Amino acid sequence: MKPTLLILAAGIGSRYGGFKQLDNVGPSGETIMDYSIYDALKADFGKIVFVIRQDIEKEFNEVILPEFSDKVEVDYVFQETDMVPSGIQVTYERDKPWGTGHAVLVAVDKINEPFAAINADDFYGRNSFRILADYLVSSESKTDFCMVGYQLDKTLSEYGHVSRGVCKTGHNNFLNVVTERTSIEKLNDKIVFTEKNGQQVELTGKEIVSMNLWGFKPSIFDYLENYFRKFIQKNPDNPKAEFLIPIMITELIQNKQARIKVLESGDKWFGVTYREDKPAVVRRLKELVGQGLYPESLWK
């Protein structure tokens, strides 16, 4: 069974200042999503499912789908703030979606096979999709998941702080814990993150971090719903709390409910956290096209 690619494209992108998921960065007007889809098809993924918001459905159907909908099975699902499991009551309004864990959960009715979950605005590299697909297809356990890790110092922005899941691994490179750090930045030739109390802690830059390139089996949906219910109970009056994949993954590991293999592809990640990052992404993609790794136009 071929794996499915789940693309999380519902984020508002407040730091970027617009719908960066639909921004043109390739030589022929491609989005970063286009390159992820192209690489996934080369890695023998069999279906693409998008998580989007209803208010970008028109642009999505006009700009994204026509390019490749004749090349692979495509579907999409909405992520909205009122989409919660039955029996859950939320007493406050939210401005943003519930986070990456919720984004995966809303796709429960669209996916029945092993799948990769990715950010729409990150470039991961073709080998990353290949090794992830190989692991999903070869692993027989319903609770053996995986993620592709990247070296921290190769994932930073020159224009502000970023959020990264810092990983610690154990035997056979299985994940022990992933700690979400929300304020990592370059500062005076050092890489630091800022604790909630304002204290700055230095990092080496060699740490392996999660860039939300996960490999899951369908069993993850039961875990997601269970942990989302607990999340709501723990945050009854916090409209800014986010249900993030790394937090749930760490609990699954600690409770011995699942294992997560950390894969390292050697590919270089890049993306557009801030609008100022876009020119560097455009240059990098042009270089990859010039090296013959991608055609001038992906879909023609």
pLDDT in tens, 208-217: 999 999 999 9
Please report the domains of the chain, with CATH numbers, ordered by start residue.
Answer: 4-290 (3.90.550.10)
Cβ neighbours of residue 31 under 8 Å, at least 6 residues apart?
A: 21, 22, 23, 24, 25, 63, 64, 120
pTM: predicted TM-score of the whole model, two decimal places: 0.91
Query: Per residue in 43-101, pLDDT tens?
Result: 999 999 999 988 888 888 887 788 788 889 999 999 988 888 777 777 677 777 788 99
In the numeric block, the tokens 């943003």 are attached to 96
Q: What are phi and psi of 5, to 5 degrees?
A: -105, 120
Q: Is the pLDDT of residue 237 over 70?
A: yes
Distance CA 231, CA 171 (A): 30
| Length of the chain as a residue count | 300
Strand partners of residue 77: 51
